[in-house]
Amino acid sequence: MARIFGAFKTGARVAFDPLGRALVRAGVSPDAITIIGTLGVVVASAVFAAHGQLLVATIIITLCALLDVLDGAMARARGYSTRFGALLDSTMDRVADGAIFGALVWWLATSGQRLLAVVTIVCLVGGQIVSYVKARAQGLGFTCDVGFAERLERLTIVGIGGLLYGFGVEWGLAVALWVLAVLTVVTVVQRTMHVRTQERAQQRQSAQEGAT
């Protein structure tokens, strides 16, 4: 699965590079693209996903999510990235994720699907923790590029569920959310244990160096 999504990311970057260069030449800021994409996701989530119109919501959110790839292409075309841009990108990702899953929670709860609403809350909270653990680990000097449910995988899974529901396969959304909830929890554990393993390895190395 990781290889498939990795190949998709690489292909998307290559496809968007020409457009990214064109926008940079036109004087458009990557930060503006980031904000526009996030606003599109928030509006689609509030207007469509929160009212159960998942097919329209999924299509719009997918198109807006592609802008996240475009702003990266623009940064590469410009030849540099900024620390503020990286912060803004990560912040907007959290806002977009919160809007998507929050809208689903609202719709599921108000339509009487309370158990599935709880599962979606697990996806929402777990997804935020997955991203936080990585950021915190990197801040502490560890690597944390592990786990089944990174952001692209999470959005893809819930997107497939939304499309299936929109085309009349209503159980598809439930399956997608249950699968995502499990994978998200597993990813939190994976990343936490990965950092623990690195720290213990460092401690052993320090002990060995101190003994020599």
Active site residues: 93
53 φ/ψ angles, rounded to the nearest 5 degrees:
-90, 70
Tokens at residue 207, please?
């002990």
Nearest-angstrom CA–CA distance, 105 and 115: 10
Query: Does an H or E element contain 106, and which?
Result: helix 83-110
Q: DSSP class of residue 51?
A: G
Buried b / exposed e along 113-145 (16+ C-beta atoms within 10 A): beebbebbbbbbbbbebbbebbeebeeeebebe
